[in-house]
Structure 1
Amino acid sequence: MLKMVGAARILQWGKSSKRNVICRRAEVGASDSFRWNRRRKFNTDEPGLFHAVTTKQKELHFVCEVGIEMAELWVGGIKLLSYLELF
């Protein structure tokens, strides 16, 4: 289960503290490096796929079971919290 913790832009999944990351930005769809690394697996255009970039420049990819609408909601929420963090 993936959840966003407060206004701190922390994405959290699982119970380990290593699974807590602070997001800088998020986008719907796969990143270019993800597409290149998985070019032979043909699952880079899966509906509901979005990725987040952490403060340490790591990319995390997630797939929403519901589809692209839920991925857009996640990305919108991350972007909103990132915007609010600036002000």
Structure 2
Amino acid sequence: MVRINITEAKNHLSKYLRRVKKGETIILCERNVPFAEIGPIKPESRQLRPIGLDKGRFIVPENINDPLPDWLLDAFEGKKSE
């Protein structure tokens, strides 16, 4: 991890960005006081999630497709219940 001041970062941005691309983290400082961190983004997983990953962790209720009650629909629409 490298600590650099803003002026150094502005003057040599390309150099430090190459280091970030290689996986290094840069700490930005203002008058030698750290205030920000620049680091590589973790690559997104390209692997498909398996079907049934949460099987057995919850149960879908029988009434899942029933209409919502009026008081709840009113709340979604911003109507005040009586």
Give yes or no for TM over 0.5.
no
Higher helix share: 1
Higher relative contact order (CA 8 A, sep 6+): 1
Whose Rg is larger? 2
Normalized per residue, which structure has more strand?
A: 1
TM-score bucket of the superposed structures, by smaller chain: under 0.3
TM-score for the superposition, normalised by structure 2: 0.22
